[in-house]
Amino acid sequence: MKIVFFTTAHNSLSQRAFVELVDRGHTVIVVIASSEDVMLEAVEREHPDLIVAPMLKKVIPASIWQQHTCIIVHPGIKGDRGPSSLDWAILNACEEWGVTLLQAGAEMDAGDIWASRTFSMRGGSKSHLYRHEVTEAAIQGLLETIAKFESKTFVPEPLDYSRKDVKGCLQACMKQADRAIDWAEPSASILRKIRCADSFPGILDTVLGMQCYLYDAHEEDVLRGTPGQIIAKRDGAICRATGDGAIWITHLKQKGTDGQPSFKLPATHVLGDRLDHVQEAPLAVDQWCIGRTYREIWYEERHAVGYLHFDFYNGAMSTDQCQRLREAFLLIRRRPTKVIVLMGGTDFWSNGIHLNMIEATDDPAHESWRNIQAMNDLVRELITTESHLVISALQGTAGAGGVILALAADCVYARKGIVLHPHYKGMGNLYGSEYWTYLLPKRVGREKARELTEALLPISSRTAQQIGLLDDAFEEDAASFREHIRELAEELASSHRYEPMLEEKRQARKNDEERKPLQVYRNEELQRMWLNFFGADRSYHLARKNFVYKGLMPDHDRGDERGRTGGHVEFTAGHDAGWHYGRQPARDGYCGRASMTAEILDGRAMSAEMKAELRGEMRRFVEKQGQAPGLGIVRVGGDAASGVYSKTILRVAADVGITAHLEQLPVNTSADELRALLVQLNNDQAVHGILVQMPLPAHLSQKMVAATIASSKDIDGISSRSVGNLFLGLPSFLPSTAAAVMEILERTHTPLEGRRVVVISRSNVVGKPLGMMLLQKNATVTICHSYTTNLAALTRQADVLVAAAGRPRLVTDEMVKPGAVVIDVGINALPDGGIVGDVDFASVREVAGAITPVPGGVGPLTNVVLLKQCVQAAWQLAGEKKEWTSTACQISAYAGNDADHWHRMVATHTIVSASWEIAKPRFK
């Protein structure tokens, strides 16, 4: 079946549901449902058999649920309704709770019931319950629902409060006042309040005079103090006295001041020197202690097996945590045991470097570097351990470097039902280190390693086992998994196979080292990481900021955000603060599709995103100037394609608020008449951009048009002044198709610097301008045309391949380098009326890393780029010293607003001097 997910965030439940359904052969398309439009557009495009909402905070439009079956996964028992179900169940200490799968309808959470499950509640935070009990119940319920749906005979049960098994009711949205803490209360009650708000929204309280949200609370059975007093600190956490004891709080988020967002950090980091008077309460990793307390890293030993636990919040590992874990590992490696089991934490094994801690430093690039080095140092110790057999026991989710950390062990086992993200690129094209180029292909083979790191999709423990990433996956609940691991480890330690296995491992390591030293893998990876952290491409820094701030950038970072990406949110917030992977969650729309190799670069979604940005820009313009920008479109004659294009531009212009009008001239219009109209538009103050539709009738010259349109209104970049400026790397209007290609590359964070880009076209509207823009991005560009010999040999070298030849399916799979980004500009009408691009989509999608479809790729962006340039023209004509914000226009490497530099350019390049009068107002 084709199933579309509408979800507010691709969180742990959504990811688990995704992998379970994909494993069962369904095609699943995840849509981050940020608006009604996104949902409507997705349904129109995908025609799904079924819609599932694993975690949706928005209402599904009636036109969708009236025509499609939409299943809502509600984290409450039958009859329960409202947005704070699990919060109330925890706060009210319910002993049993459940999950209900119901059909979307007019009333929220009151639709017909397809399935439900109940479970016993135990202590633990909302996020912990959500990742375990709720997710397991939801998956069972979802699989049952899908079987019922496929049977086509099942009739869901209407919600009927008179039924005995319907015990829930409508519950209000929980407010901060409902959770407010009085520190004289018993620990149990305070714990419930913090846990029912964990990990979102957090409970608001005052700590040492600072307003903060509190997260991740743990019992403390020994320490005591005056209620409310901070009595100890340990591993970044604070211990606070309650009415009958004390509790630990590991994380705080300072309440934003002046509306500025903030993010979660270890409590001691947030409170800083306010804690100077508070005593450290250190606990050695192997220290036995009475009762319950909080510790991040601890060790236990039994029957020649050492168990190293490391339970880092959300699986993130800071430089300090990596160093402490490495020291703990070295300590226990000296113990006379035979097997070491790395246990991770219950919810998370590891998610690699600690993005929040990196963001909190003054120099995030430097801290990123330190953090990856510390991870590498830890992984190296695991790989080179010759005294023990090492087992990784994944109780919880792992991502990026966290997955690779696990692979450094000799055996890798996981709990059934965990989800793995064995890739880095989703975080702003991060290359990744942790010796992944050694460890990953060793386990799964080179081809599969490439596939995993490029696909950016979550995988189930079942799939991971099938491809050899895991040795085995067993037991659904964490306690049974731990017990099973103990049995395995003890059996291994006492097995007669132990010594031969250890010897085999030493020999294999020696051979591997001779073939290629570990240090070489590390150096190669770090070279790429250095570029990610310190290079000109800021994608990683931007992606990290978006992730950390959950898309709500603080003011001081907004300029960077706009300048670099057009300001879209790369990562989404949700129940999980763990990394959410994939380029596609970056934007409204697709988040992952399971049944194909290449990522589909969805031009429609990007166009919607650009339109939203443009509407904001329009609002600012109208507020300031009192009128909307105007666009004049000129069409001579009746060319069908240009007629369609004109209509589209008029529609999109109306949609974003630009006043556009079409001047339709008869086919026999003379050159003088056309020139007169263009001069009139040049002088019309209400018109800020002029577009002349091509092709013109044969008797009219394109050159005359390019020479007549005022360069200040030349929004499609056809005049020689625009072309000259583009050539010189100065700010200029750009041909919109070429600029649309650049928009796609920018918005998908496709690296260009130093990469080989092949463009099939040398036309004035695509190939030549695109070649210039790519050169400005420091790509190595090859331009091909109809005289190029051995085209395939050149295209096969391309990291990025752009096809704009106007030849149906010219580019086939054997012409594409595996993993390449393929942009198809071609629009070719087939005799049967169908439209195809220049790329044979069906075969190339199996080879490429990412590909634009036709239709739905470059096309939808072209007209929005044009309109964006119209708004830019309007700002400039209004004399505004406005940043040149078009992503593609950032080619102006040495332009900016530097008037002196401009003067120097004018002195040396006569072609530029013509632009001076027009550009001057920008520097006033």
Nearer to ligand NAP, 591 or 866 (CB): 866
Nearer to ligand NAP, 35 or 788 (CB): 788
Binding residues for ligand NAP restricted to 524-583, rule: CB under 6 A: none
For residue 201, say if its preceding peptide bond is cis, omega within 30 degrees of 0.
yes
| 812 binds ligand NAP per the rule CB under 6 A | no
| 826 binds ligand NAP per the rule CB under 6 A | yes
Nearer to ligand NAP, 237 or 858 (CB): 858
Nearer to ligand NAP, 214 or 848 (CB): 848
| 913 binds ligand NAP per the rule CB under 6 A | no
Q: Which span (58-66, 356-364, 648-656, 758-766) binds ligand NAP, by CB under 6 A?
A: 758-766
Confirm if 814 and 785 have CB atoms less than 8 A apart. no
Helix (H, G, I), strand (E, B) or coil at 914: helix
| 693 binds ligand NAP per the rule CB under 6 A | no
Nearer to ligand NAP, 720 or 764 (CB): 764
Q: Are strands 835-836 and 828-829 parallel, antiparallel or unpaired?
A: antiparallel
| 761 binds ligand NAP per the rule CB under 6 A | yes
| Residue among 140, 828, 843, 885 that touches ligand NAP (CB under 6 A) | 828
| 637 binds ligand NAP per the rule CB under 6 A | no
Least distance (Å) from ligand NAP to the CB of residue 660? 18
Nearer to ligand NAP, 187 or 761 (CB): 761
Q: Report the distance separating Cα 544 and Cα 567, nearest Å.
A: 13
| Residue among 493, 631, 760, 867 that touches ligand NAP (CB under 6 A) | 760
Confirm if 432 and 454 have CB atoms less than 8 A apart. no
Nearer to ligand NAP, 70 or 811 (CB): 811
Angle 10-13-14 from CA coordinates, rounded to 5°: 40
Q: Are strands 756-760 and 800-803 parallel, antiparallel or unpaired?
A: parallel
Binding mask 318-357 for ligand NAP (x = CB under 6 A): ----------------------------------------
| Residue among 174, 398, 758, 827 that touches ligand NAP (CB under 6 A) | 827
| Residue among 269, 528, 756, 807 that touches ligand NAP (CB under 6 A) | 807
Binding residues for ligand NAP restricted to 846-875, rule: CB under 6 A: 858-859, 862
Least distance (Å) from ligand NAP to the CB of residue 777? 20
Least distance (Å) from ligand NAP to the CB of residue 773? 15
| Cβ-count burial 348-368 (b if 16+ within 10 Å, e if not) | bbbbbbbbbbbbbeeebbebb
| Residue among 765, 816, 850, 877 that touches ligand NAP (CB under 6 A) | 765
Q: Which span (287-295, 459-467, 546-554, 801-809) binds ligand NAP, by CB under 6 A?
A: 801-809
Q: Are strands 70-74 and 96-103 parallel, antiparallel or unpaired?
A: antiparallel
Q: Are strands 210-220 and 203-207 parallel, antiparallel or unpaired?
A: antiparallel
| 810 binds ligand NAP per the rule CB under 6 A | yes
Least distance (Å) from ligand NAP to the CB of residue 860? 8
Least distance (Å) from ligand NAP to the CB of residue 736? 8
Confirm if 291 and 251 have CB atoms less than 8 A apart. no
Binding residues for ligand NAP restricted to 267-286, rule: CB under 6 A: none
Tokens, residue 728: 């010189």
Nearer to ligand NAP, 585 or 859 (CB): 859
* Listed residue (52, 68, 22, 58) closest to 38, CA to CA: 58
Residues 6+ apart with CB under 8 A from 561: 542, 545, 546, 553, 567
Distances in Å between the Cα of 396 and the Cα atoms of 324, 374, 460, 468, 478 are 21, 22, 12, 18, 8
Helix (H) or strand (E) holding 142: helix 135-151
Q: Report the distance separating Cα 333 and Cα 388, nearest Å.
A: 7
Indicate the length of the chain as a whole number.
924
Nearer to ligand NAP, 361 or 797 (CB): 797
Q: Report the distance separating Cα 574 and Cα 7, nearest Å.
A: 10
Least distance (Å) from ligand NAP to the CB of residue 761? 4
| Residue among 711, 763, 776, 852 that touches ligand NAP (CB under 6 A) | 763
What DSSP string describes 313-339?
GGG-B-HHHHHHHHHHHHHHHTSS-SE
| 461 binds ligand NAP per the rule CB under 6 A | no
| 805 binds ligand NAP per the rule CB under 6 A | yes
| 774 binds ligand NAP per the rule CB under 6 A | no
Q: Which span (335-343, 615-623, 679-687, 821-829) binds ligand NAP, by CB under 6 A?
A: 821-829
| 825 binds ligand NAP per the rule CB under 6 A | yes
Number of residues that bind ligand NAP (CB under 6 A): 26
Which residue shows structure tokens 């070489």?
A: 520
| Residue among 791, 878, 906, 918 that touches ligand NAP (CB under 6 A) | 791
| 802 binds ligand NAP per the rule CB under 6 A | no
Return the axis-axis angle of helices 859-877 and 736-747, rounded to nearest 10°. Answer: 100
Q: Which span (135-143, 406-414, 425-433, 782-790) binds ligand NAP, by CB under 6 A?
A: 782-790
Nearer to ligand NAP, 466 or 702 (CB): 702
Nearer to ligand NAP, 99 or 825 (CB): 825
Please give the DSSP secondary-structure letter assigned to residue 174. P
Phi, psi of 6 (to 5 degrees): -105, 115
Residues 6+ apart with CB under 8 A from 921: 876, 879, 881
| Residue among 384, 786, 908, 913 that touches ligand NAP (CB under 6 A) | 786
Least distance (Å) from ligand NAP to the CB of residue 374? 47
Confirm if 400 and 552 have CB atoms less than 8 A apart. no
Which residue shows structure tokens 């005289």?
A: 787
Confirm if 212 and 253 have CB atoms less than 8 A apart. yes
Distances in Å between the Cα of 466 and the Cα atoms of 16, 443, 473, 481 are 17, 11, 10, 19
Helix (H, G, I), strand (E, B) or coil at 630: strand
Helix (H, G, I), strand (E, B) or coil at 298: strand
Binding mask 719-748 for ligand NAP (x = CB under 6 A): ------------------x-----------
| Residue among 217, 804, 820, 822 that touches ligand NAP (CB under 6 A) | 804
Nearer to ligand NAP, 678 or 854 (CB): 854
Confirm if 588 and 570 have CB atoms less than 8 A apart. no
Neighbours of 249 (CB within 10 A): 23
Confirm if 576 and 127 have CB atoms less than 8 A apart. yes
| 308 binds ligand NAP per the rule CB under 6 A | no
Q: Report the distance separating Cα 224 and Cα 231, nearest Å.
A: 7
Nearer to ligand NAP, 167 or 807 (CB): 807
Tokens, residue 311: 């339970």
| 795 binds ligand NAP per the rule CB under 6 A | no
Given the rule CB under 6 A, which residues bind ligand NAP?
737, 760-763, 765-767, 784-788, 791, 804-807, 810, 825-828, 858-859, 862
